[in-house]
Amino acid sequence: MTYIFAHGMGQTGEDWRETLSCMGAETYSKCPELWEMTEGEICYENIRQGFSECCNGFPEKNLSFRQ
């Protein structure tokens, strides 16, 4: 199973590294940079669209989200 950790405003995917090391889940985890996957204006709709496209790129459909 792939775990996807989404960061909040003012954070980056790097902020999850310590958590992931404690879980031992580095191999099965993704921490996408939400701002980098956004095209155009940074707004909720564009971030959601970019995140959705990112998730659709995973082969498995059994995804677990942590926020």
More confident residue, 52 or 26: 52
Three-state secondary structure readout of the chain: CCEEECCCCCCCHHHHHHHHHHHCCHHHEECCCCCCCCCCCCCHHHHHHHHHHHHHCCCCCCCEEEC
User: Is the model's pTM score more than 0.75?
Assistant: no
Summarize pLDDT for 3-46 with one digit per residue, the tens.
788 887 788 888 888 888 887 755 567 788 888 888 888 888 88
